[in-house]
A and B are shown apart, each in its own frame.
Chain A
């Protein structure tokens, strides 16, 4: 399940890559160099492991980067430590020796001799492929690094056979004799190990054994997988392996193994050149990986392909596949090796160039490109008869020295899609409002796309709008639109009417007869226009992939008078709200308080206050006039006391009322009034009964 999806996705990625890169592979460029410096950055002056250090150093070496980080001292230190330690596994030794191969640390010869002895012991007792791979690999590295150590294997044929015993009938290999799973990347490791055995053999290896090995290789290549763009790759069929290996590391492993074998058998291995080229294309098609492991695998495999003894792939690349007629671009082709170095003398031949997707004959046939030494590229001036469009150019690489054809893989014919762009003239543009029934022209205006001018039109629902124009290609030939459409790749001719409320309608302008024309019958469009009368902006978009002057232009306004919308008419769709306005602060709100009641002026109130005392004053004057006296006031002490207390009580009650007004609340007032009332009742009763009895005495007297 996972595997199927995975490969499915890879195919998809490549399909996308094809759409973009369009079969053009480019050799390694500076992008890889800057990426390498970004990727391989040592932490505190050293890499976390010797394996990583080797990947970094080897990538820098292949790419020819001089400004590499200085890690020599710390790395050499750990190399010597690993080599000196007796507990180092063959794998550790292998990585340390690989680093030493590049850094050339000062390793003592005695150290090598000790290692060689232990490695040889491991080789003779090894049972798993990885043990063979690391120990033989280490021995082969020591052979290069030390002149004295005796690394030659006495029983090379035996070792060869015990490695060969792990091979499977389908060209894949097992990791160990007790591990039944077979794997493609194990095959690569096995080839590399066998190449080491051959190199270390003290006597010639039996040719018959090499013959079966070649058989294995060709079987392995039967399982190679292919992308549509000609890239070949190997993938593991079994994904359940504990550590998943992607197609990149699998292919890299196989490539390393094959090229190593080819080196030691002095080119005795024959493989079809297109497969080698396909493998190179696979690595180049990946682009710049962002992972150190992938990056190293890519660069290292390309380096092994660069100088391999089977056949060296030559990559034909075009710096530009979009050529402009207006800028008089030349067709340029470069042929390099995968790492971007120069190719042997050769001629690039344009076999044919034909319009993509059309059955017409080719426009250019078999032309040789001229070679420019300075830019190291082959070029061709496009003939005058070439018009805009999308073409497929077919190139062929012919080596000057036919002997070299065995050394280099050129891959036969290479198809490259090329876009040729140019200015497309828009001519005879006019816009008109027509009367519906008669078809008579109401108002006709010429359009000038160069200027800024816009036209103003008005129409009602019984009229029609007609827009027409002609497109002419740079060659100026009077093409009929359908022929032009064939030349253009992805023509976009849109007429857009946009109402004031931002409701817009798009029409594709069709081609009829000699020109592009659109006729909008407003009667049939009222419903589509949601019965919205008013001003509409008219915009015209003309564009194409090969048109250098694609444009979007407001050409005018039309005032449309449409009938009233019936009840069931569709409503115009909601228009998106501007996000900025949606989030602004709201307007402040402050509460409006109730206005206080209107009052008379203070003076007036005070005047009336004075007036209210007038009756009291009148009353007092009246009393004086009547001759008021207090003769009835009791003369004896006890009633007089009660009288005084009674009147004081009344005064107190009245004062209480004043206090009630001034500050007291009802409850205090009533409480006090209760006491005062009882007091008043008592003293009032005494004085009033005294007065009553004294008046009764008077009457009776």
Chain B
């Protein structure tokens, strides 16, 4: 009996527990953390605590735990995955590289931290996300010019980098406010470098190495040019297909030691009390877990100027008004998104009209234009791709017809002579009939 009661209680609570990811509330909630070693829970606790304090439910599992799984009964039971297991050769349970990629493809987010001697499995996942780690498994990023000055670490693999991507939505706008002189504390990094495929437009370099950096095995002498050098090395990258993926070549980037450590970049006299890691990763994780930069577009409306209802068809040369509302998810609610670069296209094979939309502070975007004098089936298209924001792609089909027979201009001055001739002939005819019939 007691068991029955508990079961009932559970089924009742279950619907309330599922306050997870949904289109209406896009922030992730349940996060699976796969670790190589449970000691990471303690050594990286600041990062995890920051996440927990923002309301994420972290579920820590060993990567080779045989009970671990992303799905149950065909449903994903997690919204996001954190892979802090650079050396794992095979995941436990039903998880493999394909399962993780399916997880990402279905719109779930991923944070992947690699490190020296990363396993092939981790590399494979990274490659599928558009990131290539240095082929030499034991290579580290070395930089003799912008290393972090340290009394105890002399081999220049601890790098202080401040070459961030210039994007408020990914890294937050607080960065600049927080410091006095617009200087951002460099981020400490120690690990493998990677490159991103230039043909892939979905991958971004968030943190890049300085031009003098190179990636090589610290234990061997350099004889051949290193495979990747300079600012082509990305230290942290993000990829996205509206699912967001963060890939880092360093696991210690997330560690308490780096979070707490002070930093001084070589050649600079400024010594920062605290490295930029904590802020960098907090802001970045907000972005990865959809607390920022997630847009939705609703209420797409269009109608003829001066009317309210949406017509089924437009005539060429009609004046029309188009409007759409765009909102950004702030982590708790939908806030109006205000920008000056949203554009609408009136499109048939190629854009006939491309116009930047005006906006008001409520997130409503509107414009008006004249339908081109070409008829056919057109689309209203809004393709909004901005660095770090969800891509918006709206399209609405609408046909455009030519003038009807009675819609052309009727009284053309230039034609008056022809009309006049016809009417004068008609008058002549009338007079002629009378004269012809009755004149004697």
Contacts and interface: CB of A to CB of B under 8 A. Distances in A.
B152 A21 contact: yes
User: What's the dominant secondary structure at chain A's contact region?
Assistant: mixed
Interface in A280-296: 286-291, 294
Interface stretch (B172-180, B278-286, B290-298, B429-437): B429-437
Contacts of A586: 343, 354
Nearest to A295: B42
Contact of A294 (B42, B158, B216, B419): B42
Contacts of A616: 424-425, 427-428
A329 to B, nearest CB: 10
A390 interface: yes
Nearest to B44: A290
Contacts of B36: 5-6, 9
A326 B223 CA distance: 30
A650 B260 CA distance: 105
Contacts of A20: 152-153, 158, 190
A654 B426 contact: yes
A588 B355 contact: yes
Interface string B211-231: 110101010011111100110
Interface stretch (A135-143, A166-174, A599-607): A599-607
Interface string B130-170: 00000000000010110000111111111000000110000
Contacts of A623: 431, 435
A523 interface: no
Given A20-B190, A288-B260, A612-B424, A591 B370 contact: yes
A665 B154 contact: no
B392 interface: no
Contacts of A494: 214, 225, 229
A580 B166 contact: yes
A613 interface: yes
B343 A579 contact: no
A385 interface: no
A287 B257 contact: yes
Nearest to A688: B437
Interface stretch (B14-22, B104-112, B197-205, B326-334): B197-205
A320 B435 CA distance: 129
Contacts of B153: 20-22, 322
A577 B201 contact: yes
B37 interface: yes
Contact of B212 (A288, A291, A541, A602): A541
Interface residues of A, number: 109
A508 B224 contact: yes
B71 interface: no
Contacts of A582: 201
Given A552-B145, A574-B198, A606-B416, A654 B155 contact: no
B11 interface: no
Nearest to B354: A589
A53 to B, nearest CB: 20
A629 B225 contact: no
Given A576-B198, A654-B430, A5 B88 contact: yes
B335 interface: no
21 contacts: A2-B65, A13-B37, A246-B39, A248-B39, A289-B45, A418-B154, A490-B155, A492-B214, A583-B385, A585-B356, A586-B343, A589-B355, A591-B373, A599-B414, A606-B413, A609-B416, A611-B417, A630-B438, A632-B439, A647-B430, A657-B426
Nearest to A661: B419
Given A543-B145, A632-B439, A12 B117 contact: yes
Nearest to B415: A605
B154 A579 contact: no
Nearest to A657: B426
Given A290-B44, A494-B229, 11 more contacts: A6-B62, A16-B115, A322-B152, A492-B144, A550-B144, A552-B212, A588-B354, A589-B351, A612-B424, A613-B420, A619-B431
A286 B38 CA distance: 14
